[in-house]
Amino acid sequence: MTLQQFLDILRARWRLAAALFLLTLGTAVAASLLLPKKYTASAQVLVDMKSPDPVLGMLLPGQLTPGYMATQVDIVNSQRVALSVVDTLKIAENPQAIEQWRQATDGSGSIRHYFSDLLLRGLDVKPSRESSVLSIGYTGLDPRFAALVANAFAQAYVDLSVQLKVEPARQTKGFFDTQTQALRDRLESAQNRLTSYQRDKGIVSADERLDVENTRLAELSSQLVALQALAGEANRRQALARDAVTRGTSADVPEVLSSTLIQALKSELARVDARFEQQGAVLGAQHPDILKLNEERASLVKRIERETAAITGSLGNSFKIQSQREGDLRAALERQRSKVLEIKQVRDELTVLQRDVESAQRAFDAVSQRLSQTSLESQSTQTNVVVLTAASEPRRPSSPKVLVNVALGGFLGTLIAIGAALGLEMRDRRVRGPQDLKLASGVTPIGVLRNAFDGRAGRSKRGRIGHHASAALAVGGAGSHGNAEFSHTVFGALPEGEERTAVGRPQQNQIRGHQPIGQIMVSAGLLNPPEVERILAWARADGTRFGEAAVAHKVVTESMVERALAYQFDYPVLDPANTRVSSEVVAAFDARNPLVADLRRLRAKIRSAQIAAPTDAPLKSFAVISSGSGDGKSFVAANLAVTFSQMGQRTLLIDADLRRGRLHTVFGLENRTGLSSMLNRHITAGSMQRVPGLSNLSVVTCGPQAPNPSELLSRDVFAHLLESFARAYDVIILDTPGVAEEPDATLVAQRAGGALVLARKHRSSFDSVVELVHSGGAPNIAVLGSVLNTA
């Protein structure tokens, strides 16, 4: 639903909407005036969430939560606070209050709870926006009592805040008393176990002793590592020496080579060998010097061998000594390690005992501290809630609020009115605008006809020329051909005796455009020649046209000028005072009416469809159909036919509503014969009638009422009539009854070959239009479009 559709629905249902709106608004006003006056007193209470606790000296975590103020509101609204107010004000002791309680409850239940519930009904607690202030308001019939109750609630809330803080502290204090004694016993037991263990183990300072033993263990480890290196080196040297002895190369052993004694003996041996070679060349082998040198040499060799053997043997002894020292040192290291582990185990047990003492001490200290805090809290009388502003007696009632209730009633009435209008529209949907018509018909609307009698410009400009003048215009104007003779044919009376141009106008009317407007008005008796001369002088002086100058100097009226112009330009118009045509044929009287402009636009679109039609199937005739009666089919058909005739089209208007036809009344024609007569083959000279003053428009009335309209329209003679009319006329428009009432309209549209779907705004049913298009049509009917009648 678009906004325009919504507005159209409200505009159509405005009476119902206005009645519901006024009823709701009146109810709100009456209730505001009849309800008893109530007074509201309000006290302001500050809830300080940012100040530290007086005992702990820090902000409580609960005060920082977003729901803290909501919790305070719930506390004020609690039954406990209300009971405190009842006791403070001694309401339960008032004889009148006791009597009220007995009448209300028959003496059952608690009187304190009864009045606490009553007080809570009038209580209104609101937290201020973005602040820590609570507004405690009470509404009652007595302003003094309202102030007393509001102040009593504020004070009861403050007292309860203290109680809610002190009572848990007192309960907590008893708990911490018990826990403190138990923790004290636990601390003393842990301390005794530590002292006994130190005494049994002879521990003064386990950490210092462990450091000394660890140092000794480290030294033994270092010595063992060094000794293991020496033993390995000795083992290697022993192996090298043993291998050299086995190979006979003991002299190559490094220890032997590095021995100074062996080197000295070798040097001495070298000197002896040198003397032996020196003297052996001179002396013989048995010479005493030679023998002495041999003995000396043999002695040196043996000493060298003994020293070498001694050195290689000492390497094996060194390895044995190093291995023995390594074993002794390893044993000492194991003993020292066991000793260190034993000391560590003692220290661990001591640490456990010390930690037990420390844990018991910390627990005892913490509980002792909390015990001190709870002892202070249980004796505290301070709270973070204070009464900021006491309630005073209100001077003006807080309710009923007449303006608010009226505004609320207006708003509610608007909703009810809109809802009722939309609800009724859903039950009985009507065509409210072009969009609805397009949805219902499935055809794009080609025209929207405004109300011709809504007071707009054009209605007041209908011709008001005097009787003699209008008569003259009628005699010399377009109505001069109203008495044309007819000749009779088999299918009806066709006009004869007039020579027509290509557009169908009489040739004698073509000379009117050359006749000045002044001469036309003189011929009509509206002006005399001297007046024409004066008007021409005024027009030349003012630089205006003749008609404008005449109207400006009030010689003639504007409507007189318009009728003279219509005569000058061969535009057929009628004089209301000199015609039998009904005023609802607006197009025949008022060319400037907005409806006529709409009809011209509709005419242009119909002409476009006719021009676009195939030459072998020209679309000359079409029926104006709608879902029901009262949609304005006759009105639209009559005015549309006039506009076609004013364009110079030879136009035939047929009243195909054989039951309730009214076109003869609209155009002031006789109805002795008509379409029913033609369909029954009773064709007379008066079956086709020319409208006086509208030379290009002929009308076939419905004729005498027949007992079988549907059967008559179903006869082939109707098709033959339309074919005959199509040869003589440019446009044939057929008026029909409502489709929902009679099936005649479908028969007429099928015979015509074309249809113009008409719906009346706010009157035509949406579903009926849908049924008209989908179930009332036929394949050979060309729908020219849909038209919305807003009249």
Q: Is there a contact between 585 and 645 (Cβ–Cβ < 8 Å)?
A: no
Q: Which two tokens stand for residue 702?
A: 């419905």
What is the Cα–Cα distance from 718 to 268, expressed in whole angstroms?
172
Q: Which helix (H) or strand (E) holds 653?
A: strand 651-655
- Owner of token pair 């678009």: 2
pLDDT at 488: 28
Q: Which two tokens stand for residue 298?
A: 């043999």
Task: Calculate the alpha carbon distances from 206 to 202, 267, 333, 356, 676 in Å.
Answer: 9, 66, 21, 18, 139
pLDDT at 172: 78
What is the Cα–Cα distance from 636 to 624, expressed in whole angstroms?
8
Q: Is there a contact between 630 and 763 (Cβ–Cβ < 8 Å)?
A: yes
What is the residue-averaged pLDDT of the chain? 78
Q: Is there a contact between 623 and 754 (Cβ–Cβ < 8 Å)?
A: yes
Q: Parallel, antiparallel, or unpaired for β 689-690 and 697-700?
A: antiparallel
Q: What is the CA radius of gyration of the chain?
A: 66
Q: CB-based contacts of 6: which residues, under 8 Å, 6+ apart? A: none
Residue 753 corresponds to which amino acid? G
Using 50 as the pLDDT threshold, list the residues of the chain that sit under it.
62, 456-513, 778
| Residues facing 697 on adjacent strands | 651
Q: Enter the DSSP assignment of 514.
A: G
- Owner of token pair 């590095």: 258
What is the Cα–Cα distance from 750 to 732, expressed in whole angstroms?
14
Sign of CA dihedral 483, 485, 488, 494: negative
Q: Is there a contact between 473 and 529 (Cβ–Cβ < 8 Å)?
A: no
pLDDT at 211: 67
Q: How far apart are the two ends of the chain, measured CA to CA in Å?
A: 23
pLDDT at 510: 42
Which residue in 568, 579, 621, 632 sits closest to 762, CA to CA? 632
What is the Cα–Cα distance from 680 to 573, expressed in whole angstroms?
35
Backbone torsion region of residue 337, taken as left when φ is above 0, otherwise alpha when ψ lies between -120 and 50, otherwise beta: alpha
What is the Cα–Cα distance from 573 to 559, expressed in whole angstroms?
12
pLDDT at 250: 61
What is the Cα–Cα distance from 472 to 519, expressed in whole angstroms?
13
Angle at 97 between CA 93 and CA 102, to 5 degrees: 105
What is the Cα–Cα distance from 703 to 554, expressed in whole angstroms?
48
pLDDT at 251: 63
What are the pLDDT digits (tens) for 577-612?
788 999 889 988 888 888 888 999 999 988 888 787
Rounded to whole angstroms, the maximal C-alpha distance in the chain is 207
Q: Is there a contact between 704 and 684 (Cβ–Cβ < 8 Å)?
A: no
What are the pLDDT digits (tens) for 163-179?
887 777 777 777 778 88
Which residue in 505, 516, 508 sits closest to 476, CA to CA? 508
Residue 611 corresponds to which amino acid? I
Q: Is there a contact between 542 and 549 (Cβ–Cβ < 8 Å)?
A: yes
The three-state secondary structure class of 41 is: strand
Task: Calculate the alpha carbon distances from 387 to 151, 153, 154, 159, 646 in Å.
Answer: 9, 10, 7, 11, 91
What is the Cα–Cα distance from 489 to 416, expressed in whole angstroms?
65
Task: Calculate the alpha carbon distances from 366 to 60, 180, 362, 541 in Å.
Answer: 19, 9, 6, 117
Which residue in 639, 653, 689 sits closest to 669, CA to CA? 689
Q: Concatenated DSSP letters for 676-700?
A: HHHHTT---TTSSEEPTT-TTEEEE
Q: Parallel, antiparallel, or unpaired for β 651-655 and 731-735?
A: parallel
- Owner of token pair 């020209």: 618
State the number of CA atoms in the 13 A half-sphere of 604 facing the CB. Answer: 6
Q: Which two tokens stand for residue 256?
A: 């032997």
Residue 586 corresponds to which amino acid? V
Task: Spell out a b/e string for 224-241, using b for 16 or more CB atoms within 10 Å of the CB, else e.
Answer: beebeebbeebbebbebb
